[in-house]
């Protein structure tokens, strides 16, 4: 099992690791700070360098068969097995993804508090993101209202904190029930909880910023009607 360094510290930009496996798809480390594709998040990219100075591009990181696989260019050879390597994450896009993710959770919290609306999906990229939620109307005034509420949350600079909780405890927590904690596979006994002070609380494995001010300026792009009770909002952030 690869230790996921980003789950306790999202701000690690460089780290050292040992290559534990080389397979036809890439390499597996003992630990990693690279975010992998999944759960609505995009894979990080970056660089890997061996102790002999050989450099590789980390093109994508995926989770497959319980392994976190780093796809490299050029393709790795068996000789990498057991190597100690240094990795650097492409921080610019990763940090934007962290800001987007905290924005999405903040929207989730405010939609529920203000409209009783539940978020049903989302997708995050460094460029733009989207959030899907259950609400009857999403007209222009409502998008403006959501934007205003979110701007206030950003201005308030609410802290984002990470904690860990037993599954049995989480299943009793109203906030976590609302965000469908019961859908997390039963094999997961300890849940990671991401809390945005006064705004949102949910079980989540992804990377976030430390406080809402880091989100920056929220810019709604367009909204879509995807059915009677299903609306989609695209957004981006400045700068």
Give the separation between CA 46 and CA 2, rounded to whole angstroms: 18
Q: How far is the CB of 11 from Zn ion (least distance, A)?
A: 17
The verdict on 76 binding Zn ion (CB under 5 A) reads no
Give the separation between CA 17 and CA 156, rounded to whole angstroms: 38
Tell me which H or E stretch contains 114: helix 91-115
Task: Please give the distance of CA 237 from its chain centroid, rounded to a whole number.
Answer: 16
Query: CB neighbours (10 Å) of residue 55?
Result: 11
Q: Which residues lie across from 73 on neighbouring strands?
A: 57
Q: How far is the CB of 74 from Zn ion (least distance, A)?
A: 34
Stretch of residues binding Zn ion (CB under 5 A), selected from 135-143, 157-165, 196-204, 225-233: 196-204
Task: Please pick, from the candidates 44, 149, 195, 204, the single residue that binds Zn ion as defined by CB under 5 A.
Answer: 204
Q: Which of 207, 211, 200 is nearest to 174 (CA)?
A: 200
Q: How far is the CB of 129 from Zn ion (least distance, A)?
A: 11
Helix (H/G/I), strand (E/B), else coil: 32:
strand
Q: How far is the CB of 208 from Zn ion (least distance, A)?
A: 8
- Pick 46 or 206: Cβ nearer Zn ion: 206
Stretch of residues binding Zn ion (CB under 5 A), selected from 127-135, 178-186, 199-207, 217-225: 199-207
The verdict on 109 binding Zn ion (CB under 5 A) reads no
The residues of the shown chain that bind Zn ion, judged by CB under 5 A, are 204, 206
């Amino acid at each position: 099992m690869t230790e996921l360094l980003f789950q306790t510290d999202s701000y690690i930009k460089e780290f050292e690791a040992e290559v534990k496996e080389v397979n036809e798809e890439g390499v597996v480390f003992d630990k990693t700070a690279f975010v992998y594709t999944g759960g609505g998040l995009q894979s990080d990219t970056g660089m890997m360098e061996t102790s002999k100075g050989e450099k590789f591009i980390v093109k994508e990181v995926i989770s497959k068969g319980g392994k976190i696989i780093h796809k490299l260019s050029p393709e790795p050879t068996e000789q990498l097995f057991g190597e100690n390597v240094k990795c650097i994450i492409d921080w610019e896009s990763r940090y934007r993804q962290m800001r987007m993710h905290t924005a999405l959770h903040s929207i989730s919290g405010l939609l529920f508090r203000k409209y009783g609306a539940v978020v049903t999906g989302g997708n995050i990229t460094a460029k733009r993101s989207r959030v899907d939620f259950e609400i009857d109307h999403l007209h222009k005034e409502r998008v403006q209202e959501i934007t205003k509420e979110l701007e206030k949350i950003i201005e308030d600079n609410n802290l984002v904190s990470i904690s860990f909780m037993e599954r049995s405890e989480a299943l009793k927590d109203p906030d976590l029930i609302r965000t469908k904690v019961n859908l997390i596979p039963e094999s997961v006994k300890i849940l990671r909880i991401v809390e945005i002070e006064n705004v949102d609380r949910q079980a989540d494995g992804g990377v976030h910023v430390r406080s809402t001010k880091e989100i920056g300026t929220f810019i709604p792009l367009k909204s879509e009607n995807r059915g009677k009770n299903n609306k989609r909002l695209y957004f981006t952030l400045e700068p």
